[in-house]
């Protein structure tokens, strides 16, 4: 298996079980994974940590996942985002499309083929682009 230990991933979801299971899966795959249970907590973590890719639930308490992505991209333009939502009718907003997000960056809960999520992280993370 390739070494993905240089890729830092932040999982943002208000459901602790999803945070822990998804971060454990990513760590098993070799990524450096952290979690946050709200957009505000995630933005606070970003002040002192660098994340290459954030996996973001859209429905969060307080600030929405979309608003968090917009703020994070303003502050950390190299950071990339994957949407992880339970809404089967979710469509990318024009603002997120302007930030370069595409439908292949949207995953519906539960992800049945986790290797597709891993592939998306690898494609978005800057360290793996040249490998």
Look at 56-60, 74-78, 94-98, 112-116 and tell me which has the smallest mean pLDDT: 112-116
Query: Domain 8-129, CATH 3.40.980.10 — does that match?
Result: no
Reference 79, options 111, 125, 113, 40; nearest CA is: 125
In this prediction, residue 127 has a pLDDT band, given cuts at 50, 70 and 90, of low
Confidence label for 110 from pLDDT (cuts 50, 70 and 90): confident
pLDDT digits (tens, 9 = 90+) for 55-64: 999 999 999 9
Instruction: Read off the pLDDT of residues 1-12 as tens digits, 9 standing for 90 and up.
Output: 578 899 999 999
Mean pLDDT computed over every residue of the chain? 93
CA distance 79 to 128: 14
Residues 43-61: what's their mean pLDDT? 97
How many Cβ atoms from other residues are within 10 Å of residue 104's Cβ? 11
pLDDT of 122 higher than 90: yes
Q: Alpha helix locations (H) across the chain?
A: 16-28, 39-46, 65-75, 94-98, 114-124, 126-129
- Over 90: is that where the pLDDT of 83 sits? yes
How many Å from the N-terminal Cα to the C-terminal Cα in the chain? 14
pLDDT value of residue 131:
38
Task: Confirm if 21 and 111 have CB atoms less than 8 A apart.
Answer: no
């Amino acid at each position: 298996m390739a070494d993905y230990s240089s890729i830092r991933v932040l999982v943002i979801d208000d459901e602790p079980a999803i945070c822990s299971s998804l971060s454990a899966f990513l760590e098993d795959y070799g990524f450096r994974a952290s979690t946050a249970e709200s957009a505000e907590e995630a933005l606070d973590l970003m002040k002192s940590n660098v994340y290459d890719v954030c996996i973001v639930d859209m429905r969060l308490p307080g600030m929405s996942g979309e608003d968090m992505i917009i703020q994070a991209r303003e502050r950390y333009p190299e950071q990339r985002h994957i949407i992880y939502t339970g809404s089967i009718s979710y469509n990318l907003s024009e603002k997120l499309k302007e930030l370069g997000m595409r439908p292949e960056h949207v995953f519906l809960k539960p992800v049945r083929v986790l290797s597709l999520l891993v592939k998306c992280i690898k494609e978005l993370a800057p360290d793996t682009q040249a490998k």
